[in-house]
Structure formats: C-alpha cells, structure tokens
Amino acid sequence: MAEESANPERISEAEQAVMEALWARSPLTANEVADAVAPARGWTLATVKTLLSRLVAKQAVQTAPDGKRFLYSPRVARVDFATGESKRLVDRLFGGSAAGLFAHLADAEALTDKDLTQIEALLKELRK
C-alpha cells in the first residue's frame, strides 16, 4: 500500500487557519496564503511563513519548488481533519457516542430548526 500518512500530528488552531486557505485553493505561494489569511487574523507575512513551515514539518502540507519559491498544498484532506477532530470530541466528551453529542446539543438548545430539518432529511436519506 502506498505510503500511509504515518502520524497525523495535531494541527493547531492558528495552523488550521492556514490550512483553510490551502483547502480553499491550492497550490498557493506563501504570499498568496498570507493574502488570504493574514488580514483577517491581523498576522504579518512572517507569521504565516512560520505556520507554513510548521505545517510542512508536521507533514500536513507539501511543497513543490516553483522557481525560487515554493508552492504549498495540503497533504491532509479537510475531510480527514474534520473527521479526526470530530471523533476526538465525541470520544473525549461523550464516551464515543455521536448520539450523545447530538442529545447534548439538543439539550443545550444549540440546534436550530434548520439544523433539525436538515438532520431529519439526512436521516431519511440514510435510512433509504
């Protein structure tokens, strides 16, 4: 089997902001990532570069040389990241029960009518 992504090192919150830019569009240069991300977070270019380096070190991002600079692209899919984080939450807080999470959100009135309608529709779909 092809080189399985060995260790999914954790992506921090600031790092995630960088990933979001790359998930939205890639490959990007460091400058393009900064343009996409820095203003909203009040970051300098240097900060974005540091985060990119760390993400490369964590093997969450890969680089391809393009002349004198690099083009960055995600190495982990957003879907996988989301799954990992979601499962972590469900495990840590609800003993692994996704239904527990759902019940909790309902209890906390964190579900909008729209949420309920959409979930209902999804359930129907799943049951088909």
Any idea which residue has 């790092």 for tokens? 15
Judged by CB under 8 A, does residue 3 bind its own copies? no
User: DSSP assignment of 50-90, as one string?
Assistant: HHHHHHHHTTSEEEEEETTEEEEEESS-HHHHHHHHHHHHH
Handedness of CA 21, 22, 26, 29 (dihedral sign): positive
Site for DNA contains 51 (CB under 7 A): yes
Binding of its own copies at residue 77 (CB under 8 A)? no
Amino acid at 6: A
Chain contacts with DNA (rule: CB under 7 A): 10, 12-15, 29-31, 41-44, 46-47, 49-51, 53-54, 56, 67-70
Chain contacts with its own copies (rule: CB under 8 A): 13, 16, 79, 81-83, 85-87, 89-90, 92-94, 97-99, 101-108, 110-112, 114-116, 118-120, 122-123, 126-127
